[in-house]
Every structure is written in structure tokens, then in C-alpha cells.
């Protein structure tokens, strides 16, 4: 089965190879044993570069031509490799199964091990399917609705009876008062006994209705309780079967790294791994390359197809190694891979050896860099999102730990990012941003025609906490946002614009461009807000920043050439 593909299968032969920094690093630390008790941790890395992203976009175009890839959302990945003769080839992989199949022509095969448990897997999957069907039937139990209906009817009858008895009790109290004032001796005794008998009869009536309620509802309650117990039992069986099958798979799935060492998933993570570990794109690609003497150069993974409610994935967006399944394996998988000397050596005004960050301005109080697209401004919440401008500068500069970012740019936005080197400077610059005293200019290419020459956009923006990081126009909850714009140039299917935001809301320019109440045209490459064009990046660049230097009190005007 052919799984090696030429670059021309995905991109044009004259594709311009960018020298820009990698947008992401697949990395891990592999524990190696040394002499005696000496042990060292080696940091291992593999980049996602512009060429690998371009190849991935080419694969996206191929997937878009076939509807079968859109129905079932999943991760896809490509690995750019070098053959022993120096030629470059492309491997492609999908996570899990593709239309129910693990082996598909042209795609990297699954990691060895599944065949050994195929029979047990089929048997267990059949059991799980039977449990699923029984659970579905039990959850559709008609007696549940019957119980609810009858229970409501009895409650209504009891309420009506209580209201009637309360009224009768009030009448009896009035009648007792009346006969006590008008009757004597035997007549009074008879009258009071009649009232007491009426009270007793109403008590009997209520008890009879309660007994009738219990007689009707109790059998239904017992049936529902037995059904719920069976459902709970089936869920436990399902969990036990899944764990048993997963343990068998983890014991048989064998991964090989570039040192030639092979270990099962169970050996790699004896504490246990989530379901699906070993079936993701990155382990498939790296294992295949290691076992076929192929040298990895760059890798890229993206989501394609529908996204379930729990996944919250965006079609066409690149993602790094997942924290639960892939990241714990990265150190082992990359072990033995010899690092390629970086073609980007640090130049004057730049920091970093593997990835350069051009310094636009620097003094003892401030530092401004030209952030590349794809790099976070500050570290994210999770372990796979720690790489950022701030973390790199903190690692590379002698006074780096004192640095603090005074504002942020979206991960996919390039351009000027300003950082303070002490707390007082950070406070002074931050105050200028808050008071809207900082002049910001962005340049963008929009994926369509903008008919007006210039204008302003005022829309209230709100970030839905259930759908982060997506922002939307919301007139009830949104915060005010204001942007001035002017057209710089027009192309056949695009418009180059200059944006001057007066506020700094999250995704402000992206929403102001995409929303019909703004310009109604998405920024080129902005898949989050609906751009379908295949391109290597978000075409939004923070071009200029003008503010008052907190120490010299002179106006500082920073500029960074737009890279597109």
C-alpha cells in the first residue's frame, strides 16, 4: 500500500517556502538512562512550519471535494519526511477510524496491536452495542410517563379535596358556634355529633383516595426503580467492558521511536491512558516514520468535519498535540530524532536561536517585538499552550522574569507587541491603554469587496462563556467597541484595509469585519468567523503603535512592515 506522497500532490511546485518562525512545536522530554544512577532529561522538538501548514491546506482542499469526510468530524494530520536519499515526501493520517475502517489506501496504517485484539474487540463491541440497545429501550419505558400523568392527576384530586374539606371545616366551625348559642341539651348533643360525623367521613374519604393513589402508583414506582437499577447495572458493565478492552489494547499497541526502541502503551503509561490513545494522527505518523527509516521535518494537525457539542473544534483550524492522549507520548516518540540545525540564527535585534523574535524597540524600561502569526502573546492555561512571546523572552533575556505584557494580540495576528520591564512602567503604559491614549493601526486583507472608502463601526461585543473564544454582537450584554477604517487598495476578490481601533475588545477587528452590521466581509484566513478561503494565515497585522514614553514623556511611534 502506497502511503508516501509527493509535495506536488498537495501544493504547487513553485510554492514560496517562507522563512518565518514555526507556528507551533511538538515537543516532549524523554528520560534516558546514563552511566550508573545518572539520568538526564532531553528536550525533543518537531516544528509545525509554513510549508507543513500549506501541505495541510492542500489536504483540506482534497477533503472538501468529498462529502464523506464532512459527516464525521475528526483530526487529520500530515508529516513532511525526508527519505534516505534526501528526497522529501508527505505522510497523511486520520484519527480513529475513517468511515468505519482502520486501514485506508493512501493513509498511514494504524499502530500495530489492533489485529492481536481484533476478535476480542469485535466481541466486546458487540456486547457494548447490545448494552446500548437495552439502555435505549429502558430509557423509553412508557410507565415513566404513565406514572407522571397519574401522579399529577392524583395530586390535583387531593388538592381539590383539600380545598373542599377546608371550606366544609370552616362551615362546621360557624355552625358549631351557631348551635351552641341556640340549642340546648339533647338537641345540642345531636347537632354536634352530626358535625363530628361529617368530619370523620371526610377523613375517611381522604384516606381512601390516598390508598387508591398508592395502589395505582406503587407498582409503577417499583417497576421504574427496577428499571433504574438495571440501567445503573448496565452502565457499570459498559464501563468495565470498555476498561478491559482498553487495557488489552494498551498492552498490545506497540510504539517505536527513532532510537529503534519499542514499548507498549501500557509500559509507557502504566497509570492508565484515556480511551483512544494510540489512535491519534501524531502517534500514527511518527511511529510509521520511525519504523520506515524516514526523517521527520515538520508536522501539522487540523480538524475537519462536523464538531460535536463536547469537542468544540473548528473545521480547518490547526491544533497541537492533545494534552490527554498525545502529549504524554511525545517525549518517547521523538526520542532518537536528531535536531536539525536552525537556518534562523539570531541576528542583531533578535532573540532566540530556534525561533527569532525581531526586536523593534528596546530600552531599560520597554521592549517591543514583531510577533509572528501563530504565536501566543502570553502563556495559555494548559500545558500545551505555554509557548508564547512572553515565555520566550523570559527564558532568553537576563531580566526576562520581570517582563510583563501591557496588551495582547490574538494568536493568529502578527505585529507589534509591547512589554514592560518593571512594574511601574507596566502600570503607566497600561493606564494609557485603559484611557485610550495609545494610537493603534492595523492592516488587513478582507476576503471580498468593501464598497465604502472609509467610515466607523460601533457595535457592542460580548463573549459567550459557552462558546469561547467566539465573540458576537449583543445589544443587551455587549461592551461598546469602536473602530475607524479606510480602504487602502482593492483587488479582484479582496480589499486591503487600514483599521484604527479606539477600543480594545477581544476579536474586535475580526467581528467588525465579519458581522453584517459592520463590513460584512471576513478577514482573509479568519475561519473562526466564517472565511472559507484556503490560506496559510490570518491576514491581520498590528502595524503601528504610538504612545507617550513613561520616562522621557516623548511620543514613541513604533512601526512594523506588513508581511502580506
pLDDT in tens, 240-292: 888 787 777 667 778 888 888 888 777 777 666 566 566 789 999 999 999 99
Q: Is 385 helix (H, G, I), strand (E, B) or coil?
A: helix
Determine whether 410 is an active site residue.
yes
Phi and psi (nearest 5°) for 429? -70, -40
pLDDT of residue 142 exceeding 80: yes
Mean residue pLDDT across the chain: 85
> What is the per-residue pLDDT for 273?
59
Among 401, 525, 404, 543, smallest CA distance to 23 is for 525
CA distance 142 to 139: 9
The more confident residue out of 9 and 307 is: 9
> What is the per-residue pLDDT for 216?
94
What does the angle CA 286 – CA 292 – CA 294 come to, to the nearest 5 degrees?
Answer: 65
CA distance 141 to 224: 8
Q: Which of 16-30, 294-308, 332-346 has the highest mean pLDDT?
A: 294-308
Of 410, 474, 515, 526, the active-site residue reads 410
Query: How much is the CA Rg of the chain, to the nearest whole Å?
Result: 35
> What is the per-residue pLDDT for 354?
43
Each residue of 452-491: pLDDT tens digit? 999 999 999 998 777 778 899 999 889 999 999 999 999 8
CATH of domain 350-559: 3.30.2350.10
Phi and psi (nearest 5°) for 67? -60, -25
Lowest average pLDDT, out of 71-75, 192-196, 508-512, 518-522, goes to: 71-75
Domains of the chain: which residue ranges?
Answer: 7-114+254-334, 135-248, 350-559
pLDDT of residue 136 exceeding 80: yes
Q: What percent of the chain has pLDDT over 70?
A: 87
Each residue of 493-531: pLDDT tens digit? 899 999 999 999 999 999 999 999 999 999 999 988 988
Amino acid at each position: 500500500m502506497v502511503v508516501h506522497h509527493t509535495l506536488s500532490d498537495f501544493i504547487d511546485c513553485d510554492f514560496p517556502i517562507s522563512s518565518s518562525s514555526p507556528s507551533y512545536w511538538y515537543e516532549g522530554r524523554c528520560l534516558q538512562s546514563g552511566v550508573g544512577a545518572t539520568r538526564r532529561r532531553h528536550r525533543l522538538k518537531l516544528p509545525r512550519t509554513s510549508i507543513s501548514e500549506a501541505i495541510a491546506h492542500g489536504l483540506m482542499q482534497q477533503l472538501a471535494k468529498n462529502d464523506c469526510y464532512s459527516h464525521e468530524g475528526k483530526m487529520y494530520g500530515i508529516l513532511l519526511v525526508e527519505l534516505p536519499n534526501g528526497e522529501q515526501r508527505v505522510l497523511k493520517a486520520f484519527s480513529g477510524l475513517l468511515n468505519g475502517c482502520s486501514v485506508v489506501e493512501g493513509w498511514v496504517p494504524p499502530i500495530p496491536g489492533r489485529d492481536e485484539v481484533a476478535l476480542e474487540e469485535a466481541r466486546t463491541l458487540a456486547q457494548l452495542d447490545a448494552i446500548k440497545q437495552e439502555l435505549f429501550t429502558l430509557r423509553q419505558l412508557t410507565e415513566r410517563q404513565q406514572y407522571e400523568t397519574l401522579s399529577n392527576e392524583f395530586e390535583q384530586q387531593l388538592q381539590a379535596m383539600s380545598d373542599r374539606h377546608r371550606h366544609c371545616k370552616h362551615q362546621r366551625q360557624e355552625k358549631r358556634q351557631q348551635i351552641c348559642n341556640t340549642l340546648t341539651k339533647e338537641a345540642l348533643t345531636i347537632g354536634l355529633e352530626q358535625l363530628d360525623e361529617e368530619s370523620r367521613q371526610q377523613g375517611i374519604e381522604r384516606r381512601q383516595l390516598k390508598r387508591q393513589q398508592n395502589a395505582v402508583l406503587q407498582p409503577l414506582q417499583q417497576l421504574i426503580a427496577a428499571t433504574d437499577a438495571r440501567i445503573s447495572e448496565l452502565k457499570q458493565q459498559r464501563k468495565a467492558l470498555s476498561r478491559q478492552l482498553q487495557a488489552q489494547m494498551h498492552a498490545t499497541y506497540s510504539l517505536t521511536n527513532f532510537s529503534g526502541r519499542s514499548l507498549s502503551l501500557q509500559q509507557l503509561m502504566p497509570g492508565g491512558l484515556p480511551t483512544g490513545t494510540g489512535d491519534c494522527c501524531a502517534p500514527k505518523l511518527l511511529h510509521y516514520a520511525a519504523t520506515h527509516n524516514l526523517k521527520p521535518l515538520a508536522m501539522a494537525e487540523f480538524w475537519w468535519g462536523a464538531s460535536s457539542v463536547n469537542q468544540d473544534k473548528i473545521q480547518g483550524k490547526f491544533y497541537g498535540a492533545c494534552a490527554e492522549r498525545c502529549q504524554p507520548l511525545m517525549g518517547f516518540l521523538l526520542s532518537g530524532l536528531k535536531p536539525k540545525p536552525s537556518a534562523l540564527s539570531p541576528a542583531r535585534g533578535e532573540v532566540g536561536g530556534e525561533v527569532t523574535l525581531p526586536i523593534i524597540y528596546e530600552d531599560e524600561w520597554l521592549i517591543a517585538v514583531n510577533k509572528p502569526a501563530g504565536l501566543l502573546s502570553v502563556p495559555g492555561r494548559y500545558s500545551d499552550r505555554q509557548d508564547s512571546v512572553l515565555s520566550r523572552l523570559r527564558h532568553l533575556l537576563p531580566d526576562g522574569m520581570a517582563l510583563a505584557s501591557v496588551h495582547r494580540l490574538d494568536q493568529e495576528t502578527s505585529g507589534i507587541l509591547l512589554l514592560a520591564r518593571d512594574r511601574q512602567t507596566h502600570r503607566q503604559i497600561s493606564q494609557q491603554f485603559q484611557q485610550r491614549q495609545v494610537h493603534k493601526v492595523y492592516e488587513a486583507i478582507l476576503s471580498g469587496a468593501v464598497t465604502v472608502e472609509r467610515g466607523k463601526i460601533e457595535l457592542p461585543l460580548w463573549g459567550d462563556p459557552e462558546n469561547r473564544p467566539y465573540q458576537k454582537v449583543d445589544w443587551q450584554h455587549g461592551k461598546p467597541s469602536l473602530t475607524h477604517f479606510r480602504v487602502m487598495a482593492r483587488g479582484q476578490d479582496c480589499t486591503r484595509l487600514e483599521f484604527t481601533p479606539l477600543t480594545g475588545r477581544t476579536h474586535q477587528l475580526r467581528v467588525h469585519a465579519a458581522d453584517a452590521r459592520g463590513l460584512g466581509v471576513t478577514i482573509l484566513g479568519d475561519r473562526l468567523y466564517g472565511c472559507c478561503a484556503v490560506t496559510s494565515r490570518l491576514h491581520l497585522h498590528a502595524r503601528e503603535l504610538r504612545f507617550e514614553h513613561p520616562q522621557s514623556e516623548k511620543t514613541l511611534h513604533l512601526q512594523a512592515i506588513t508581511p502580506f
